[in-house]
Structure 1
Amino acid sequence: MADLNIDVPDKVEPVTPMQEINKAYELSKFGRFHVKLLFVSFFGCVASILVTNTTSYLLPIAECDLNMNLKQKGLLTAMPYFGMFVSTVIAGLLIDTFGRIYFLRIGFGGIFLCTLFSASSQTYEMLAAAKLCEGILFATSLAAISSLTSEFCHTTVRDRVMLCQSSFAALTQILSPAMAWGILIQDWKYSFFEGRFVLNIWNFYLLIMSLWSLTAFLLYMILPESPKYLVTQKRYVEAKNILIQVYSENTGKPADTFPYQNIFEKEIKENATTKADGEVKDNFAKKILTSLKNMKPLLGRPLLGYLLLIGLMQFITLGIHNVIRLWFPQLSTIVEHYSFEGGQNLCGLLDEYTGTLKVKSASNSTSDVCVPHVSGSETYINSIIIGLISLLPYFISGVIVNKVGKKVLLFVGGLMSSGSLLGLRWSNSKTMMVAFFSTNIAVTQTMKSLTQVVLIDVFPTAMRTLSLSLVMLTARMGTLVGNVAFPILLAMGCSIPFYTMAALMGFVVILTVFLPKKKQ
């Protein structure tokens, strides 16, 4: 045990706090702490994704209860993204200023309360307002999840850990329809106060889904703050204690065997000297000013160019991914009620459905009883299949990402996505439709994760969450525009949205050529 320091010779001794942290992580390796970190982030990722996912399964079953038309369904699907648009940049700035773990707790605690409000909704406006609030709080949690996880990993394992965490989105694609299938097929309906307050089955569904955000809130209470963030705030003693905790949990060795017992020694002494000389502790305003100063490099080359490039790629990729993902349950339900016959393709069915809606709207009939097109077992089973297939690219890319590089994977993924969108337009069977939906969702989901890893590589710790939030802002704008535009374009003609999305993914393929090749 006395020879442990031999592994850290003077000639490779780290010279900056960040280098010291990376060396400490390298010695700690991957272990139990990281497993716990991924376990907690799993609940966080599921709770975050359910903010948008739950709406997809409500659209068919709640259309009569909430009196929704096709455009209102698109607006409700987009509502969480309105909230994200409002809060994303502000949340990113505050997370970089006041820490990751603090806002993770606020975010998931708030999402839990807002989901309870959603679960008690009695009108379309009430549910839309609740979904807007969920979106606002979503922005404070999801960006912090990525930052916290990446900052606890050494560079040799970071890509694979981040891809593993990103695969939780695919797992949610399996869990979400499975939970919806188990709950929404029930016939639960309770009326209170002489019918003035009614809980339908979809209300109970939202109530049960709120347990994910409550669990995430409780689990993040047991995790520490990121040492890299603490170092940027000159809180060296706290950072040292957390590094020792990671080392002990990963290696199973006592804290006193930590090789870098004198880590941050120079910085701790300098801090003590400045405090002895009467330096005043940073207040709220000073921290905000410091964070604004940290933004300055974002406005110069090459970071501004990379930010714009990655932001545009995410705008298109995530926009298309979420349109296809969130509208699949509704489109699948339509296919269940308008089955493929006589060689008819998907667009033929969708045009028939939208034509029926136009006739119904033109008749201005108020006497007809609204009968919802409830999703059958096929929709839920197909959604689970899509989730299972979406896992495959993560395993494949996790194995080969270090060999072929993120840039090549993004290029190939863009081509596959564009091809699958064109295939969807001409699919003439349920099997073909599910295959093309699965391919597109799986590939664009992996592309989204790879692009985020590129951003984490390029941007330094002090502005990482802010840059990630800015990119997420543009990505959510893409989702917002896509979900509002999709039903409008669909009503104009089914071919229009699919050809448009295929062309946009072809443009993303061109943009990948300009991404940086190596870590900066």
Structure 2
Amino acid sequence: MSENNKLLISNVNPAEDTSTNNEKKYEENYNLEDLSKIVLVNESVTPMQEINRAYETFKFGWFHVKLLIVTFFGCIASIQVTNSTAFLLPIAECDLNMNLKQKGLLTAMPYFGMFVSTIITGFLIDTFGRIIFLRIGFAGMFFFTLLSASSQTYEMLAAAKLCEGILFATALAAISALTSEFCHPTVRDRVMLFQSSYAALSQILGPAMAWGLLIQDWKYSFFDGRFVLNVWNFYLYAMSLWSLAAFLLYCTLPESPKFLVTQKRYEEAKNILIRIYTENTGKPADTFPYPHLFEKEMKEDDSEDAKAKRKIKVGERLLTGLKNLKPLIRRPLFNYLALIGAMQCVVLGVHNVNRLWFPQLSTIVEHYKFDDNNNLCGLLDVYTTTLKSKSALNVTSEVCVPHVSGSETYINSIIIGLICLLPYFISGAIVNKVGKKVLLFAGGLISIGSLLGLRWANSKALMVVLFSMNIAMTQTMKSLTQVFLIELVPTTMRALALSLVMMTARMGTLVGNVAFPILLAMGCAIPFYTMAGAMTCVVILAIFLPRGKQS
């Protein structure tokens, strides 16, 4: 500490240190930089706190807008990996010779891939960084989407969808971690909820693209019929453009400063913060308000011991990453992971079953029609009984005629997407006032009511309303539980924690999508009552969630 600062501290009279006269005297003799150094020494500010203070100064600006635009393409590309399958089921059933169980397996295939890769990718993201895995993930997703679009058999499409799921998991955990680490805690909840609304936008864009393409009568044959492109192949080619755009756009974004600080790469972190400052404020870099940011840490890092430690091999980095995981298997973090993981398992399972099977169920309703004596379950039971009869009679001579989705199915899917946007605006506006626990509890009750109501839905309008309510509520609940997790887990293990929770969540989706056609064949009411019972458990578990903390 300089002589001037020593003199300043020695001259402070404890009885008068809050007086206006003393404050004026300090301002006359010492500049603000000297005072800020004293504050920093006394408070022992951590590098993470310094980054948060910098974010608070930079406010929400153009850099964050650009981040959300890039994230939009990333989220849409990721969600279309699963969304696109839902619209293929009716139109491709004859081309790929699919029965009801094979449709359920194909719908679940991306989630098998996510389940396989989730844990290891989360660990690698926390060890080597967010941005590199975003680029790898979307580049790989683009390649395998092209492969699925060129599929000629059910097996080829299923294998490609499996690989898409592996790359999906690689990118998705990094998206949430990167976005949250570029935001100050005071705006993080709202930014994450806004980002989560992209799922609803995907629910609009997906059906709109399907409506524009799948109603066409395109079929092209090459090499004497050995390679055939149907209209659904072109639909998948169009879907691949989202992942290509996401890869190119993520190449323009930097790494998370918070991750770089955990790796003691202070100079890189500071340069990125300067970049955010200049983009948000429009001011030149030499006006950066924190010129001494990480100064103490960088001096320590320049020592010979620190330089020697930086020259570590990949194996040693992996070993260090494993050591950082110890808190995750201890209380209280392990309890949080178990609680949130169980909730996400049910919520995401119910959400994806309803979201991915709605186009198929809507198509069935289009072909069988409601009447005065029928409800949704009556129509579905007629459909499954017809399939059982054909299977029992071993009917193979009939020409396969697919139940192609009409305009109603696509329009209803778009309506669901539009309705799914509303909870994000509402919850984003009131989340800081009422809290996430209250929103989770309310969303769970609405979801239960809509699932029970579907059993008795007796019109297309009522069916769409109830599906919309359920999909919107479970989608919002999924986002709220993720925000809970982000707040409770430190940066060094955040991506892995998200991956672990998402692994359990995808297990729910896997079980749900494979079990739904089986339960549906047993009786229409069974799957809806089962999902309502599972959501009741989620509402009970929400009571035990801790208060979120801003960190």
Structure-1-length-normalised TM-score: 0.98
Change (3 A) 1:280 1:157: closer
Q: For 1:280 and 1:346, how far apart are their aligned partners in 2? A: 63
Letter in 2 for 1:426: W
Q: For 1:5 and 1:31, how far apart are their aligned partners in 2? A: 26
Q: For 1:106 and 1:500, how far apart are their aligned partners in 2? A: 38
Matches within 5 A, 1:82-101: 82-101=112-131
Contact 2:300–2:306, Cα closer than 8 Å, also in 1: no
2:452 maps to 1:422: yes
Q: For 1:6 and 1:374, how far apart are their aligned partners in 2? A: 73
Specify the alignment match of 1:463 in structure 2: 493
Specify the alignment match of 1:333 in structure 2: 363
Shift of residue 280, structure 1, vs aligned partner: 5.2
Letter in 1 for 2:132: Y
2:281 maps to 1:222: no
Specify the alignment match of 1:67 in structure 2: 97
Corresponding residue to 1:210 among 235, 240, 243: 240
Shift of residue 365, structure 1, vs aligned partner: 1.8
Structure 2 unaligned spans of 5+: 1-30
Shift of residue 157, structure 1, vs aligned partner: 0.5
Specify the alignment match of 1:129 in structure 2: 159
Contact 1:14–1:23, Cα closer than 8 Å, also in 2: no
Q: For 1:480 and 1:21, how far apart are their aligned partners in 2? A: 39
Shift of residue 401, structure 1, vs aligned partner: 0.1
Shift of residue 279, structure 1, vs aligned partner: 3.9
Specify the alignment match of 1:511 in structure 2: 541
Contact 1:14–1:20, Cα closer than 8 Å, also in 2: no
SS of 2:225's partner is coil
Corresponding residue to 2:173 among 143, 163, 176: 143
Q: For 1:106 and 1:474, how far apart are their aligned partners in 2? A: 24
Q: For 1:295 and 1:205, how far apart are their aligned partners in 2? A: 42
Shift of residue 282, structure 1, vs aligned partner: 1.9
Specify the alignment match of 1:381 in structure 2: 411
Which is greater in Rg? 2
Matches within 5 A, 1:269-348: 269-274=299-304, 278-279=308-309, 281-348=311-378
Change (3 A) 1:468 1:280: closer
Specify the alignment match of 2:479 in structure 1: 449
Shift of residue 342, structure 1, vs aligned partner: 2.4
Q: For 1:321 and 1:401, how far apart are their aligned partners in 2? A: 21
Specify the alignment match of 2:21 in structure 1: none
CA distances 1:432-451 after superposition (whole Å, capped 9, x unpaired): 00000000000000000000
2:137 maps to 1:107: yes
2:432 maps to 1:402: yes
Corresponding residue to 2:39 among 11, 22, 30: 11
CA distances 1:179-230 after superposition (whole Å, capped 9, x unpaired): 0000000111100010111000000000011000000000000000000000
Letter in 2 for 1:25: Y
Specify the alignment match of 1:38 in structure 2: 68
Letter in 1 for 2:340: I
Letter in 1 for 2:513: N
Identity percentage over the alignment? 76
Q: For 1:240 and 1:516, how far apart are their aligned partners in 2? A: 34
Q: For 2:255 and 2:311, how far apart are their aligned partners in 1? A: 19
Q: For 1:8 and 1:449, how far apart are their aligned partners in 2? A: 38
Q: For 2:548 and 2:284, how far apart are their aligned partners in 1? A: 37
Q: For 2:56 and 2:35, how far apart are their aligned partners in 1? A: 11
Letter in 1 for 2:317: K
Q: For 2:34 and 2:434, how far apart are their aligned partners in 1? A: 35
Q: For 1:119 and 1:10, how far apart are their aligned partners in 2? A: 62
Corresponding residue to 1:353 among 383, 403, 422: 383
Corresponding residue to 1:183 among 213, 221, 226: 213
Letter in 2 for 1:148: L
Letter in 1 for 2:63: F
Letter in 1 for 2:325: M
Give the number of equivalent residue pairs: 519
Shift of residue 9, structure 1, vs aligned partner: 7.6
**Greater CA drift, 84-93 or 337-346:** 337-346
SS of 2:197's partner is helix
SS of 2:303's partner is helix
2:87 maps to 1:57: yes
Specify the alignment match of 2:520 in structure 1: 490
Q: For 2:35 and 2:459, how far apart are their aligned partners in 1? A: 61
Change (3 A) 1:9 1:409: farther
Root mean square deviation, CA, Å: 1.5
CA distances 1:304-340 after superposition (whole Å, capped 9, x unpaired): 0000000000000000000000000000000000101
Q: For 1:248 and 1:508, how far apart are their aligned partners in 2? A: 44
